[in-house]
Amino acid sequence: MDIHQILKKLPHRYPILLVDRVLEIERGKRIRAIKNVSINEPQFLGHFPHRPVMPGVLMLEALAQAAAILAFDMQGVTPDDKTVYYFAGIDGARFKRPVEPGDQLILEVELDRVRAGIFKFRAKAMVGEEVATEAELMCTMRTVA
């Protein structure tokens, strides 16, 4: 799935769209996607000027966006202006290595379960063979007025 298809699946736009390409998607089970980390991203102006590092919360957000693509694909829906995909919780988040400009973050998300409109995922972000971050994510879709 290229960026044009991703833009149809996610309501996010620059500077918060954090999925550049979907490599694999197994409907209702798992997704593997890419976030290319570039020095041109606005967070690197202040985090940190002397040694740019991708904020952990943005790595979690990238994983949540990959999870949203998996959830929308599973349900066969395309979000509209009234559909919002929210975090409901983050458990066991661990940050194992810094992610710097020039790195390619591989986003791997597996659906664990869906109950009462809450999706639970096991997620990890890799740089090469190294785990950068991992967490259990809980997300939900809501319709807003």
Tens of pLDDT along the chain (145 residues) come to 999 999 999 989 999 999 999 999 999 999 999 999 999 999 999 999 999 999 999 999 999 999 999 999 998 888 888 888 899 999 999 999 999 999 999 999 999 999 999 999 999 999 999 999 999 999 998 888 7
Torsion of CA 12, 15, 16, 17, to 10 degrees: 60
Q: Which residues are catalytic?
A: 47
Domains, the chain:
3-143 (3.10.129.10)
Rounded CA-CA distance 88/134 in Å is: 16
- Which amino acid makes up residue 93? A
* CB neighbour burial string for 47-68, b if at least 16 within 10 angstroms, e if fewer: eeeeebebebebbbbbbbbbbb
Closest by alpha carbon to 65, among 25, 9, 133, 129? Answer: 9
> Residue 28: left if φ>0, alpha if ψ -120 to 50, beta else—which one?
left
pLDDT tens digits along 105-115: 999 999 999 99
Quote the pTM value: 0.96
